[in-house]
Chains A and B, each alone.
Chain A
């Protein structure tokens, strides 16, 4: 992961070139053996990934993206690219060691041969003692579908690339550190896997807070008179997020297939209810999810989305999946 990031600089004593890993506070000059203290701006280390695309390559990546997934089949031929430009997007990154305990219990249910449901509380105590990494976009990205740092592989540069605009960070280092620490605490507690918590104490020891500028290419294009967009990873040359027109054929097939498949599974679930309550209920829920999913894609699939963009046909799934989990928990 982030272990590969290094900074290059010169020793103020002898001028020798030296490099050090991100987050290190102290470096040692290999030439004059001086010890050097590295002071970040308000404790923040800044890294900037080198942009690896130009507008021609970005357009190629975009055109390849047109042909993937459930997008309109003629998108590659009919889309007209109107704008392709790079920006540097800032992301906060925090690496921290979590050290603590989460105590509580899980509930185990079983049904005896007479059909009586028995519950048993199984006490749990789980230690968490490991590193976590958190990242979050440091500016208001609008609706471009970027929330977390896309990757950590690539060449790191120390100077600005003058011709590429940079989004300014809109959150302060203190606010980012606080948010990051709380997020790591949440990840650590969650990683313990204790469903019902009676006690928790989790220390979070930050190793470093970094601001990472990542090159993102924003592409706009039109199709059948409507404007769409996509964002591309300027380091890994791949798509990150975007909106694209859907295809009526895929809409119809998924709508019909979802209704038929969902109905079939739910029907089988209803038939087996007599022999297995749990299995029957689970199958009925799965059938319902497939049915609703197919319908929602049919209803909203005229536009497909990728990346961290909320799509119309994806919204109902969260509620349905939560409900399905509740049902599963209930019958266990």
Chain B
């Protein structure tokens, strides 16, 4: 048999986990874990409470976002034309940054929009216990891929500053990571944060 099928059980209480297909398994006992072919790993996660006014427009859905705490250092940068730094000011050389990496398989444009929007303006939220009866979207990217995407987001910030980037040397050191479920409502115009 080329593919081995294993029943997913909680590593903490041993109970089989039910739900929809997801890379992050959350047991009724509250413990979340991920797994790969090497084994299981428990996971820190938070669920943000939705804003009641936003929820009045439409039923929210929880979107998993990797929160990657990093130290970024821009060591060298050369670009042609343009002198303005859109996001961090003219002479941003790095520092502690929390990078928000959507773990869902959104289309590239939406993915980029929300990763940049949340990283530039971190969401203010009140944590809550569990999801209640509300749905959550499946996480399609693991934390290792999220770390690489965090690096890509930093590079994208630098490349999208005014001017045409020609060379850059930078470091993104990951301090720690966790998963944050943010409530979004889906309107005809697309997803909107329900905080």
Number of contact residues on B: which range applies?
35 or more
Question: Once the chains are docked, how many angstroms separate the CA of A82 from the CA of B25?
Answer: 58
Query: B2–A25 contact, CB under 8 A?
Result: no
Is B149 an interface position by the 8 A CB rule?
yes
Q: From known contacts A129-B108, A198-B166, A199-B167, infer whether A38 and B18 are also in contact, taking CB-CB under 8 Å.
A: no
CB-based contact B16/A130 at 8 Å: no
Cβ contact of B2, chosen from A11, A27, A41, cutoff 8 A? A41
Chain B: CB-nearest residue to A22: B3
Is the beta-carbon distance between A37 and B149 smaller than 8 angstroms? no
- The stretch of B5-13, B52-60, B92-100 in contact with A is B5-13
In the complex, B141 has a CB within 8 A of chain A = yes
Stretch at the interface among B120-128, B152-160, B182-190: B152-160
Among the listed stretches A28-36, A164-172, A267-275, which one makes contact with chain B, having 4 or more residues with CB under 8 Å of it?
A: A28-36
Asked if B112 is an interface residue, CB under 8 A from chain A, the answer is yes
CB-defined interface of B113-137 with A at 8 Å, one 1/0 digit per residue? 0000000000000000000000000
**How close is B14's CB to chain A, nearest CB, in angstroms?**
14
Assembled-state Cα–Cα distance A105/B152 (Å): 21
User: In the bound complex, do residue B3 and residue A101 qualify as a contact, i.e. CB atoms below 8 Å apart?
Assistant: no
B81 within 8 A of A: yes
A38 to B165, CA, bound (A): 43
Within 8 Å CB of B178, what residues of A? Answer: none
Stretch from A108-116, A119-127, A229-237, A246-254 that touches the partner: A119-127
Nearest residue (CB) in B for A10 is B5
Q: Is A135 an interface residue (CB 8 A)?
A: no
How many pairs of residues, A versus B, come closer than 8 Å at their CB atoms?
A: 126
Q: In the complex, which of the residues B2, B21, B148 contacts A40, with contact meaning CB atoms closer than 8 Å?
A: B2
Chain A nearest CB from B6 CB (Å) reads 5
A127 to B148, CA, bound (A): 15
> Is the beta-carbon distance between A123 and B18 smaller than 8 angstroms?
no
CB-based contact B16/A13 at 8 Å:
yes
Complexed CA–CA distance, A130 and B107 (Å): 9
Chain A residues within 8 Å of B175, by CB? none
A103, B8: Cβ atoms under 8 Å? Answer: no
Whether the Cβ atoms of A35 and B37 lie closer than 8 Å is no
For B149, give its contact among A11, A41, A99 (CB under 8 Å). A99
Q: Which residues of B contact A25 (CB under 8 A)?
A: 23, 36
Q: A34-B18, A129-B108 are in contact. Are A46 and B2 (CB under 8 A)?
A: yes
Interface residues of B (CB under 8 A from A): 1-8, 16-23, 25, 35-37, 79-81, 108, 111-112, 141, 145, 148-149, 151-152, 155-156, 159, 164-168
Instruction: Show the binding face of A for B, using Cβ within 8 Å.
Output: 7, 9-13, 20, 24-28, 32-46, 99-101, 103-105, 123-125, 127, 129-130, 158, 198-199, 201, 203, 205, 211
Given pairs A20-B21, A129-B111, A158-B2, 7 additional interface contacts (CB within 8 A): A35-B7, A37-B7, A38-B6, A39-B4, A101-B155, A103-B164, A201-B155
